[in-house]
């Protein structure tokens, strides 16, 4: 199926999300659509899938102009889409999820579950998906759920498959498996539109690359292009994310977690007996697939949650039951995972958001009165120092782009004297240029002696910033390893494999792993046969 988008324009009020975009996807090819977050990639695919109507332009399939009034029309034309956030019902079986909305029926309109099961089995066997049609969605791994989404699209005779940021929640091994599936689908004649901002993956799997910046196509690239060349095309200037640094030796302890456990409302341990330390001038990265307790652990360190069991020590003092304000006043900075919900007050001005932590202190307050001149001057200083691109610092902070909003949060937190910085997904949803700047500022803070706990699901980010790496799986610590540990070893640990087993697998693949940290420095799981992370019962310094 030859797919062409010609002059596609989509506006939302005064915002032009897609500006006369042309795209040609050849049959049986993997065409990567590369761009920063907010560049317009997903909007363009939502137009193609019938979720949005274009204001201008046309969709042409095999020479025929098409108009889709909804996703049903797109599906009927042979287009399938796997969304970044899966559209599956947790309590349904695989077969039920695949058939939903297109249920095969028999006599008197009764749903024929056997037909649905056979379709799943046939497609699973054809492409090696290894999916049980009777398994409940909620019992499947994230990678398996994604394969179910692909089966669902293929079961509706999709000849062009749109994959929207498909690797965002996958381990490295699951990412490799997905890329093998993509290549097999392409070899069988299916066209694939691969939406991403991850340069490594584009170079590994794409046959053709179209780069979008600020809603416009800015060029075509070859998979042989370097990551530096692709990044420059994405942001319009040279970008350097290669960071050289040496790790501190025996840094003095700043923060310690001992046997910290947090239960959710059902009584399930979302953080399960976690212990580690982080020292002055050190970056400790907490990695893992999103949803394995990292969010809750970050909230515990901040003070937004109280551990059911265990203690938290900051600067030598027991902070387990201290309030958020007490921790911030004691020298903690916090970059939240969700900047809109937890990091900013959308209706406040940019200047007001830049003093949220210190608005009640001199020189920004005198008694109960805010010193507006001081707040204004402070905001102008931070705007220039952190390159926050604003129209007016008195504008609502909701007017800022994602990258500039994130830089504003970083500016606010780093403008105080810190002992500890907790940064959760600090570059999520920002462009490559802003990532470069955020890396530089965080490492400058590290060099000043601040201890940093970095929560990230991006291995490239962890590799760039971390001195040591803690991997979490189902709320537990699988192990603690040094920077430079091979990606395949980290990927296995992210899937719950203890370090020792992951390291052996790495050796079997002829890629020798980094040695484990010395005795007393390694928080490791046990060797249970099911490969799950063991409960960490070690205390003391890592």
pLDDT value, residue 354: 95
Q: Which residues on adjacent β-strands are paired with residue 217?
A: 212
Of all helices (H) and strands (E), which one includes residue 501?
helix 499-508
pLDDT value, residue 108: 64
Find out whether 500 and 492 touch, Cβ atoms under 8 Å: no
Question: Which one has a higher pLDDT value, 69 or 541?
Answer: 69
Question: Mean pLDDT lowest for which of 115-124, 323-332, 516-525?
Answer: 516-525
Among residues of the chain, what percentage have pLDDT more than 70?
Answer: 92
Mean pLDDT of 443-458: 93
Among residues of the chain, what percentage have pLDDT more than 90?
Answer: 54
pLDDT value, residue 538: 32
- Specify the pairing of strand 332-335 against strand 468-473: unpaired
What sign for the dihedral angle of Cα 306, 308, 314, 317? positive
Q: Are residues 444 and 303 in the same domain?
A: yes
Q: Are residues 396 and 267 in the same domain?
A: no
pLDDT value, residue 529: 33
Q: Which of 209, 235, 261 is the last residue of a domain?
A: 235
pLDDT value, residue 289: 84
pLDDT at 248 over 70: yes
Say if 59 falls within a structural domain: yes
Say if 326 falls within a structural domain: yes
Question: Which one has a higher pLDDT value, 542 or 475?
Answer: 475
Q: Are residues 449 and 502 in the same domain?
A: yes
Q: Are residues 309 and 434 in the same domain?
A: yes
Mean pLDDT of 259-280: 94
Question: Mean pLDDT lowest for which of 4-13, 262-271, 385-394?
Answer: 385-394
User: Per-residue pLDDT tens for 218-241?
Assistant: 999 998 998 888 888 887 877 777
What sign for the dihedral angle of Cα 351, 352, 356, 357? positive
Q: Are residues 319 and 383 in the same domain?
A: no
Is the entire prediction scored with pTM above 0.75?
no
Residue 5: partners with Cβ closer than 8 Å, 6 or more residues away? 21, 22, 23, 24, 44, 47, 48, 57, 58, 59, 60
User: Per-residue pLDDT tens for 379-437?
Assistant: 999 999 988 888 789 999 988 877 788 889 999 999 999 999 999 999 876 777 788 88
User: Per-residue pLDDT tens for 121-172?
Assistant: 998 888 888 899 999 998 887 788 888 999 999 988 899 999 988 887 777 7
Residue 32: partners with Cβ closer than 8 Å, 6 or more residues away? 194, 195, 196, 202, 205, 206, 208, 209, 210
Structure tokens at 483: 């920077």
At 278, the pLDDT band (50, 70, 90 cuts) reads very high
DSSP string computed for 222-285: -TTS-HHHHHHHHHTS-----------SSPPEEEEEEEEEEE-TTS-EEEEEEEEEEETT-EEE
Find out whether 270 and 475 touch, Cβ atoms under 8 Å: yes
Could you give the CA distance from residue 189 to residue 2 in angstroms, rounded to a whole number? 11
479: domain CATH number is 3.40.50.300
Q: Are residues 179 and 324 in the same domain?
A: no
Q: How far is CA 433 from CA 13, 36, 83, 116, 228, in A?
A: 27, 9, 26, 47, 12
**What is the domain count for the chain?**
3
Q: How far is CA 203 from CA 128, 190, 198, in A?
A: 24, 19, 9
Say if 339 falls within a structural domain: no
For the chain, give the longest Cα–Cα distance.
79
Question: Which one has a higher pLDDT value, 431 or 175?
Answer: 175
Say if 30 falls within a structural domain: yes
Q: Which residues on adjacent β-strands are paired with residue 417?
A: none
What sign for the dihedral angle of Cα 222, 228, 234, 236? negative
Give the chain's mean pLDDT: 86
Q: Which of 180, 211, 235 is the last residue of a domain?
A: 235
Q: Are residues 59 and 152 in the same domain?
A: yes
Peptide bond into 103 cis (omega under 30): no
Question: Mean pLDDT lowest for which of 236-240, 344-348, 401-405, 529-533?
Answer: 529-533
Say if 338 falls within a structural domain: no
Q: Which of 235, 259, 293 is the last residue of a domain?
A: 235
Q: Are residues 290 and 369 in the same domain?
A: no
Q: Which of 532, 286, 252, 232 is nearest to 426 (CA)?
A: 286
Say if 465 falls within a structural domain: yes
User: Per-residue pLDDT tens for 479-526?
Assistant: 999 988 998 899 899 989 998 898 888 665 545 445 455 433 444 443
What sign for the dihedral angle of Cα 347, 352, 356, 362? negative
Q: Are residues 319 and 382 in the same domain?
A: no
Find out whether 297 and 285 touch, Cβ atoms under 8 Å: no
pLDDT at 75 over 90: yes
Mean pLDDT of 460-489: 92
Domain that holds residue 449: 242-331+418-542
Q: Which of 111, 115, 113, 110 is nearest to 93 (CA)?
A: 113
Q: Are residues 422 and 540 in the same domain?
A: yes
Say if 215 falls within a structural domain: yes
**CA-angle at 228, arms to 224 and 230, nearest 5°:** 60
pLDDT value, residue 199: 84
pLDDT value, residue 247: 78
User: Burial of 512 by CB count in 10 Å (0-12 exposed, 13-18 middle, 19+ buried)?
Assistant: exposed
Q: Are residues 291 and 231 in the same domain?
A: no
First to last CA, the chain: 56
pLDDT at 49 over 90: yes
At 325, the pLDDT band (50, 70, 90 cuts) reads very high
Say if 498 falls within a structural domain: yes
Q: Are residues 534 and 464 in the same domain?
A: yes
Question: Mean pLDDT lowest for which of 178-187, 366-375, 519-528?
Answer: 519-528
């Amino acid at each position: 199926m030859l797919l062409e988008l010609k002059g596609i324009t989509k506006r939302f009020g005064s915002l032009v999300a897609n500006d006369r975009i042309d795209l040609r996807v050849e049959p049986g090819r993997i065409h990567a659509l590369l761009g920063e977050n907010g560049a317009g990639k997903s909007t363009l695919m939502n137009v193609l899938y019938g979720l949005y109507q274009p204001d201008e332009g046309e969709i042409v399939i095999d020479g025929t102009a098409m108009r889709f009034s909804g996703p049903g029309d797109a599906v009927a034309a042979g287009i399938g889409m796997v969304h970044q956030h899966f559209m599956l019902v947790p309590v349904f079986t695989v077969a039920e999820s695949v058939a939903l909305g297109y249920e095969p029926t028999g006599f008197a309109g009764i749903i024929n579950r056997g037909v649905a099961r056979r379709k799943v089995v046939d497609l699973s066997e054809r492409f090696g998906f290894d999916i049980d049609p009777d398994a409940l969605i909620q019992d499947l791994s994230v990678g398996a759920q994604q394969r179910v989404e692909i089966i669902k699209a293929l079961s509706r005779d999709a000849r062009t498959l749109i994959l929207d940021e498909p690797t965002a929640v996958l381990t490295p091994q699951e990412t490799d498996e997905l890329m093998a599936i993509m290549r097999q689908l392409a070899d069988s004649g299916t066209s694939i539109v691969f939406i991403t901002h991850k340069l490594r993956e584009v170079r590994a799997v794409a046959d053709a690359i179209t780069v979008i910046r600020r809603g416009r196509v800015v060029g075509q690239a070859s998979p042989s292009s370097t990551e530096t060349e692709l990044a420059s095309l994405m942001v319009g200037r040279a970008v350097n994310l290669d960071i050289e640094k040496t790790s501190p030796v025996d840094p003095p302890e700043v923060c310690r977690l001992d046997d910290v456990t947090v239960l959710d409302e059902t009584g399930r341990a979302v953080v399960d007996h976690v212990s580690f330390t982080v020292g002055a001038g050190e970056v400790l990265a907490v990695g893992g697939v999103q949803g394995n307790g990292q969010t809750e652990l970050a909230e515990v360190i901040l003070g937004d949650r109280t551990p059911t069991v265990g203690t938290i020590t900051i600067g030598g003092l027991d902070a387990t039951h201290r309030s958020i304000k007490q921790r911030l006043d004691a020298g903690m900075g916090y970059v939240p995972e969700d900047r809109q919900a937890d990091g900013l007050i959308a209706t406040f001005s940019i200047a007001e958001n830049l003093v949220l932590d210190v608005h009640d202190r001199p020189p920004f307050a005198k008694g109960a009165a805010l010193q507006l001149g001081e707040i204004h001057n402070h905001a102008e200083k931070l705007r220039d120092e952190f390159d926050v691109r604003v129209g007016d610092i008195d504008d609502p902070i909701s007017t800022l782009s994602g990258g500039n909003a994130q830089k504003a949060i970083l500016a606010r937190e780093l403008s105080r004297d810190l002992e500890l910085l907790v940064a959760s997904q600090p570059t999520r949803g920002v462009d490559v240029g802003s990532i470069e700047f955020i890396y530089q500022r965080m490492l400058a803070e590290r060099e000043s002696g601040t201890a940093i706990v970095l929560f990230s699901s991006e291995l490239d980010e962890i590799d760039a910033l971390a001195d040591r790496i803690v991997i979490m799986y189902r709320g537990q610590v699988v192990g603690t390893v040094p920077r430079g540990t091979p990606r395949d070893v980290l990927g296995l640990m992210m899937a719950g494999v203890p370090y020792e087993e992951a390291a052996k697998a790495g050796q079997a693949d002829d890629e020798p792993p980094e040695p484990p940290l010395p005795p007393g420095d390694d928080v490791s799981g046990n060797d249970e046969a099911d490969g799950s992370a063991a409960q960490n019962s070690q205390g003391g310094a890592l």
